[in-house]
Structure 1
Amino acid sequence: MSLTLTRRGFLAGTAGMIALHPFSVRAAANQAHLRIMETTDLHVHVFPYDYYADRPTDQVGLSRTADLINGIRAEATNALLLDNGDFLQGNPMGDYIAYERGMKEGDTHPIIAAMNTLGYDASTLGNHEFNYGLDFLVKSLAGANFPVVCANIAKSLGASPREDETFLPPYVIVEREIVDGAGNSHPIRIGFIGFVPPQVMTWDRRHLEGNVAARDILEAARAWVPQMREEGADIVIALSHSGIGAADASDGMENASVPLAAVEGIDAILTGHNHLVFPSSAFAELAGVDIEKGTLMGTPATMGGFWGSHMGLIDLMLERDGAGWRVLSHVSEARPIYKRNEDRTTTALAEDVPAVLAAAQMEHDETLAYVRRAVGKTDAPLHSYFALVADDPSVQIVSNAQVWYIAQMMAGTEHEGLPILSAAAPFKAGGRGGPEYYTDVAAGDVAIKNVADLYLYPNTVRAVRITGATVKDWLERSAGMFNQIDVGAQDAPLLNPDFPSYNFDVIDGVEYQIDLSQPSKFDNKGNPINPEANRIVNLMFDGQPIDPAQEFIVATNNYRASGGGNFPGANDSTVVFDGPDTNRDVIVRYIVEKGTVSPRADGNWRFAPVDGATVIFETGPNGAAYAAEVPGVSIEEAGMADTGFARFRISL
């Protein structure tokens, strides 16, 4: 049985009542305007709500994207709605369903229930669909009223992709009725094929090893797309949960969408995984990418942001000939659900669709209770009042979690056995945020929403491989946080006000001192200004002076590893692991796994003595309660500043 493409009974006869897209206006007999809508990387964001901050937000939510979807359907006679993967995991609602409620036979996952209300035509798997294991995935997909396809994950591999026993159908060909410019209906066969990064076999090794195997994306596409054409697909749409990256193909590419778009037989490609928007200037310099035309290798493409922030859209003008349908022209875009104002506030550009909210209302309420109750305990306070002057528990727990995670990711790789260090910086450390802008979680219960205090940004975990010499320079860059202090100086200002706290990386796993009598080796932007300076002294690893030639794995985040802050050794050339998980999710998993965490700062860094000198720094007044416990430094109160900050003195 065939269905009209609108899936809402919209017929050409109503066209005069609404504003139509130019393609619909221009379409002649035997020509049809087809709109392809994409959501991608929803990560369980049904509601416009930040569960970590425990407050509403205009920046996320399928309930808002749904408003755009409904609007698009009203603008043309033929429309498809597709999802590009990473819908099942990625916020506390996903964790609540997986770890607390579970999925019994017959249960419907809330994100699936919400998607069902919108009438999706198809979806593919993202890498995060595997995070909770295959049994959970199968039970979740059972509730979908739409096909889910994936061509490069197999229960068993054959001699060629076509001989694989795929985990899900590699593709699906659906029969639809499409309305042409004269108002006549015609049959059309549309094929959807899906792909996921083969790196899932590393990222979710514990769930997948011995159960499934992954093929290279391009290898799978080159085998299956011709078969789809042989079976009569008029149009083939690739659902590529793979980012926009290099144009030159290589085995096992994670971000393979550009060469994938060049595979003969693919008419349009939906991308994701990057958590970016296409077309946009983010991809302006890449080979094979045309952001003006919205194409990859000449093929129409889109990427709809993440968490429901955008809806990707490809408009195709199709023409019917003796051989079926072909693409005459196209337009690609990504429509946002909000805009960011000059004053950093946001304005909503879409409203909630009540049916989408209703589909997950019960689970939303249960998730709120979940994030507000304890998921673990800490046996020491988690505060950041002294994070800029001494080793600190709020940074320590981040480092502990990053090392725990990266150790698992390095297992079975060529990097296994190398020592793992962790670089982490304090985010809530006063400054422009004011005297209350600090992490402060008492010993005892830790709730999920407390993790937002520990890690403000939705960064993802990465790891770099660098030498001991580069570790030292990384720390030299961090030490720009401090002013140079002369011997005998009295109450000199300690902190460089132009140096952001998020660039003050502490590297855990080594021990070191910072000699403030030396000038900074780098300026505030990371450019060398005093090449011979050596603020980092007594740098030790495993009780011995660090070997400049020894190699280390350093756990960090995507911002730092991709060059953010301009740190020595932190760039794309040194990255050996680009994780799919956010640092915040890793911290939550770490707390859940450990039950009780011990984030006491281990005092692995401190200031070197500077004869007769004292320095002054400011922090939140509530820090006074913890001053006596700060490791490696003697701190005394020095009055209040006019700004509401408390002043403290350190004798160097």
Structure 2
Amino acid sequence: MPSTALHPISRRALLGGLAATSALAVLHPFSARAAANQAHLRIMETTDLHVHVFPYDYYADKPNDTMGLARTASIIDAIRAEATNSILVDNGDFLQGNPMGDYIAYQRGMKEGDMHPIIAAMNVLGYDCGTLGNHEFNYGLDFLFNVTNGANFPLVCANLTKGTLAANPREDALFLKPYVILDRKVRDGSGQEHSIRIGLIGFVPPQIMTWDAKNLEGKANARDIVTAAEAWVPQMREEGADLVVALSHSGIGQQAYAENLENASIPLAAIDGIDAIVTGHSHLDFPGPKFEGVAGIDNAKGLISGKPGVMGGFWGSHLGLIDLLLERDGGQWRVVNSTSEARPIFRREEKKVIAEVGDKPEVLAAAEKDHEATLAYVRTPVGKTSAPLYSYFALVADDPSVQIVSQAQTWYIREMLKDTGYRDLPVLSAAAPFKAGGRGGAEYYTDVPAGDIAIKNVADLYLYPNTVQAVVITGEQVRNWLEMSAGIFDQIAPGSTDANLIDGDFPSYNFDVIDGVTYEIDLSQPAMFDKDGTVVNPETRRIRNLEFDGKPIDPAQKFVVATNNYRAGGGGNFPEIAADKVVFVAPDTNRDVIVRYIIEQETINPSADANWKFAPMENTSVVFDSGPKARQFLADVKAIAIEDAGDGSEGFARFRIRL
């Protein structure tokens, strides 16, 4: 059971308790300066842990200093010591998101009485309350509630119902309590203790009914977040809550209310009766630079619709902190001042990650056995590949490492959109090579041999923790997308001998190959766009013979294109590809989708289908560099003839293409 008191601490206890630590905690100004009728309450938040207990990247199979509840936990005691009174809450998405979560769900399982490692780790820390995130439903309702039965803290969710929505939200049959009211004691500035009733109410994005329809359809429903809050918050006040804190597993999106917003935290915070809000879901930190100039946000003061708010990163990267200065007025408490902070567990110096904290041993011990089992799991084959997966020629020919990403994305988006208004649109997929030499060096290539493929090999296929998104664009916009990608190539004069092919300043992750169409790239033409997306040659066209379904593409035809959140959100400055084109935001990372695709297929066939190639140029040859191991795959490239041209510089091998 959760403790029944906050964590008051005297100055003498503070000094004595921290004498052995490397750095003495300094009281927050609200604690240091509170008057006799004032009390400082610190709300500490974790969010989007996604089963990251250890500071370890299971995909790459190596430690990682940017993640892990064990790291976040190591600073909680000191952060509690900075405040006279504190509570600790979790904002959801704790159950799925890395191979440990998959191992428990798919391999070890959860029988009655079993303890999930993330819950075991959280139980160490004395959480006061938590809510659910959208990923809690990825393994089904039975699994979810088997896991949460082990929590020694209450979980609340006000908009998850067992069936159809009632006419009155207060009559909804909910899976969990909509809220809890904690009866606690707080110590004021004079050292006197007073009673306070802290209400905590939780919300999950209603999009779970789409994202996890197979697990929830006919079993559950989700009400609009704001509607649910408007019904339940007044009741919390009627029951005597002095303070109401919303646990919003919903991002900071638009200011204006619309029904069933996914990212509803701004209109939610605006509801009368809510005093503070912890947010998440978006994997960002607030206050922070990404929220400068957002309507409804005061980034400098950490306010959301005028209320104190925070978003504590993801994977344990930050501890979210809201500090409230409360004042007792006529027997009731009100917020008179606040500060917010997302405190990180690491910092970056140039390109290096520097850990700010160590591990809390008790948290590591709680999950140690399952961590070791997960390591064995990620090193175990989950499927097979019928051909090698390599990226040595990814910049000059259709490539198996890019091909398999597109196959997985297409498979996933078709499934996600099959019951939507976009189901009849053709699905294309855009994917780029991430490990393609360049500044990464002559060994910086994907190289997975044919045969067994393990989960950790997915890190070779997809380096970044992007999430899948889909955009709807026209045939003309598909062409311009490809024109932007084709900017990676230097212009080649006809008749040239061994001209340099690749522009080394153009990042390979912006060389998108679009699968589902066929096309040629005419290197004799100048690039239409520069690497920053600026039109430099408006009349030129490098993309030739662009066809869909064997016919010239219709410039006005609409297509769904599967991609990632970076590109769909405008990353790379691709023409007209931005958030206003997005029609689907997935709850899954591209990595997770690839893993699920491999499991589904059992044996994948990543052989490239040669859907793009260079347009012929008589008596012209070009050269490019790749890793020396590329030589063993020369015979596999069918679309063009690549020949060994000797050694390049800095350990690279050089290759020639006769156009």
TM-score (norm 2): 0.97
Deviation of 1:2 (Å): 9.8
Residue 595 of structure 2 corresponds to 588
Residue 282 of structure 2 corresponds to 274
In structure 2, how many angstroms separate the alpha carbons of the residues matched to 1:525 and 1:161? 49
In structure 1, how many angstroms separate the alpha carbons of the residues matched to 2:430 and 2:373? 35
Specify the SS of the correspondent of 1:606.
Answer: strand
> Which of 175, 187, 200 pairs up with 1:192?
200
Backbone CA RMSD of aligned residues = 1.3
In structure 2, how many angstroms separate the alpha carbons of the residues matched to 1:464 and 1:11? 56
Deviation of 1:276 (Å): 0.7
Specify the SS of the correspondent of 2:162.
Answer: strand
In structure 2, how many angstroms separate the alpha carbons of the residues matched to 1:128 and 1:568? 33
Deviation of 1:128 (Å): 0.7
Unaligned 5+ segments in structure 1 are none
Does 1:231 find its partner at 2:239? yes
In structure 1, how many angstroms separate the alpha carbons of the residues matched to 2:658 and 2:519? 18
Residue 42 of structure 2 corresponds to 35
In structure 2, how many angstroms separate the alpha carbons of the residues matched to 1:632 and 1:440? 20
| Residues 197 and 241 in structure 1, CA contact (< 8 A), matched pair in contact too | yes
Residue 339 of structure 1 corresponds to 347
Alignment of 1:15-34 (within 5 A): 15=14, 17=16, 19-34=26-41
Does 1:368 find its partner at 2:367? no
Residue 96 of structure 1 corresponds to 103
Quote the sequence identity (%): 66
Instruction: Give CA deviations for 1:88-116 in whole Å, capped at 9, x if unaligned.
Output: 01111011111111111111110000000
Specify the SS of the correspondent of 1:316.
Answer: strand
Does 1:248 find its partner at 2:256? yes
Cα 1:225–1:99 change in 2 (3 A) is: same
Q: Which amino acid aligns with 1:146?
A: F
Residue 409 of structure 1 corresponds to 416
Cα 1:519–1:235 change in 2 (3 A) is: same
Alignment of 1:544-555 (within 5 A): 544-555=551-562
Specify the SS of the correspondent of 1:477.
Answer: helix
Residue 297 of structure 1 corresponds to 305
Alignment of 1:450-469 (within 5 A): 450-469=457-476
Alignment of 1:401-550 (within 5 A): 401-550=408-557
In structure 2, how many angstroms separate the alpha carbons of the residues matched to 1:220 and 1:478? 45
Deviation of 1:206 (Å): 0.9
Instruction: Give CA deviations for 1:308-359 in whole Å, capped at 9, x if unaligned.
Output: 00000011111223242111211111110000002x1111111110000000
| Residues 40 and 83 in structure 1, CA contact (< 8 A), matched pair in contact too | yes
Does 1:618 find its partner at 2:617? no
Instruction: Give CA deviations for 1:525-559 in whole Å, capped at 9, x if unaligned.
Output: 11111111111111111111111111100000000
| Residues 6 and 184 in structure 2, CA contact (< 8 A), matched pair in contact too | no
In structure 2, how many angstroms separate the alpha carbons of the residues matched to 1:90 and 1:565? 26
Residue 14 of structure 1 corresponds to 13
Does 1:58 find its partner at 2:73? no
Question: Alignment length, in residue pairs?
Answer: 650
Deviation of 1:586 (Å): 0.7
Alignment of 1:103-252 (within 5 A): 103-156=110-163, 157-252=165-260
Does 1:283 find its partner at 2:282? no
Q: Which amino acid aligns with 2:380?
A: R
Specify the SS of the correspondent of 1:330.
Answer: strand
| Residues 3 and 128 in structure 2, CA contact (< 8 A), matched pair in contact too | no
In structure 2, how many angstroms separate the alpha carbons of the residues matched to 1:15 and 1:433? 48
In structure 2, how many angstroms separate the alpha carbons of the residues matched to 1:76 and 1:616? 63
Specify the SS of the correspondent of 2:382.
Answer: strand
In structure 2, how many angstroms separate the alpha carbons of the residues matched to 1:36 and 1:281? 22
Q: Which amino acid aligns with 1:69?
A: I
| Residues 570 and 577 in structure 2, CA contact (< 8 A), matched pair in contact too | yes
| Residues 523 and 614 in structure 2, CA contact (< 8 A), matched pair in contact too | yes
Cα 1:2–1:321 change in 2 (3 A) is: farther
Cα 1:2–1:283 change in 2 (3 A) is: closer
Instruction: Give CA deviations for 1:450-476 in whole Å, capped at 9, x if unaligned.
Output: 111100000110000001111111111
| Residues 88 and 128 in structure 1, CA contact (< 8 A), matched pair in contact too | yes
Residue 322 of structure 1 corresponds to 330
> Which of 382, 385, 392 pairs up with 1:378?
385
Q: Which amino acid aligns with 1:74?
A: A
In structure 2, how many angstroms separate the alpha carbons of the residues matched to 1:135 and 1:445? 32
Specify the SS of the correspondent of 1:390.
Answer: coil
In structure 2, how many angstroms separate the alpha carbons of the residues matched to 1:15 and 1:648? 67
Q: Which amino acid aligns with 2:550?
A: G
In structure 2, how many angstroms separate the alpha carbons of the residues matched to 1:107 and 1:43? 19
In structure 1, how many angstroms separate the alpha carbons of the residues matched to 2:616 and 2:3? 78
In structure 1, how many angstroms separate the alpha carbons of the residues matched to 2:506 and 2:33? 57
| Residues 460 and 557 in structure 1, CA contact (< 8 A), matched pair in contact too | yes
Structure 1 window deviating more from structure 2 (600-609 vs 22-31): it is 22-31
Specify the SS of the correspondent of 1:578.
Answer: strand
In structure 2, how many angstroms separate the alpha carbons of the residues matched to 1:491 and 1:84? 58
| Residues 12 and 179 in structure 1, CA contact (< 8 A), matched pair in contact too | no
Specify the SS of the correspondent of 1:165.
Answer: coil
Cα 1:647–1:379 change in 2 (3 A) is: same
Deviation of 1:517 (Å): 1.2
Residue 23 of structure 2 corresponds to none
In structure 1, how many angstroms separate the alpha carbons of the residues matched to 2:15 and 2:375? 45
TM-score (norm 1): 0.98
Deviation of 1:123 (Å): 0.5
| Residues 424 and 506 in structure 1, CA contact (< 8 A), matched pair in contact too | yes
Deviation of 1:370 (Å): 0.7
Deviation of 1:13 (Å): 5.9
> Which of 559, 566, 571 pairs up with 1:564?
571
| Residues 5 and 78 in structure 1, CA contact (< 8 A), matched pair in contact too | no
Instruction: Give CA deviations for 1:68-107 in whole Å, capped at 9, x if unaligned.
Output: 2111112222110000011001111011111111111111
Cα 1:3–1:366 change in 2 (3 A) is: closer
In structure 2, how many angstroms separate the alpha carbons of the residues matched to 1:96 and 1:149? 26
Unaligned 5+ segments in structure 2 are 19-25
Structure 1 window deviating more from structure 2 (82-91 vs 541-550): it is 541-550
Instruction: Give CA deviations for 1:150-191 in whole Å, capped at 9, x if unaligned.
Output: 111111211021111012111111111212222222221111
| Residues 38 and 304 in structure 1, CA contact (< 8 A), matched pair in contact too | yes
In structure 2, how many angstroms separate the alpha carbons of the residues matched to 1:276 and 1:68? 20
Deviation of 1:10 (Å): 4.2
| Residues 3 and 176 in structure 1, CA contact (< 8 A), matched pair in contact too | no
Residue 21 of structure 2 corresponds to none
| Residues 533 and 572 in structure 2, CA contact (< 8 A), matched pair in contact too | yes
| Residues 279 and 292 in structure 1, CA contact (< 8 A), matched pair in contact too | yes
In structure 2, how many angstroms separate the alpha carbons of the residues matched to 1:303 and 1:397? 34
Deviation of 1:16 (Å): 5.8
In structure 1, how many angstroms separate the alpha carbons of the residues matched to 2:538 and 2:45? 50
| Residues 6 and 73 in structure 1, CA contact (< 8 A), matched pair in contact too | no
Deviation of 1:28 (Å): 2.5
Runs of 4+ in 1 over 6 A off after TM superposition: none
| Residues 326 and 336 in structure 2, CA contact (< 8 A), matched pair in contact too | yes
Instruction: Give CA deviations for 1:332-389 in whole Å, capped at 9, x if unaligned.
Output: 11110000002x1111111110000000000000011111111111001000000000
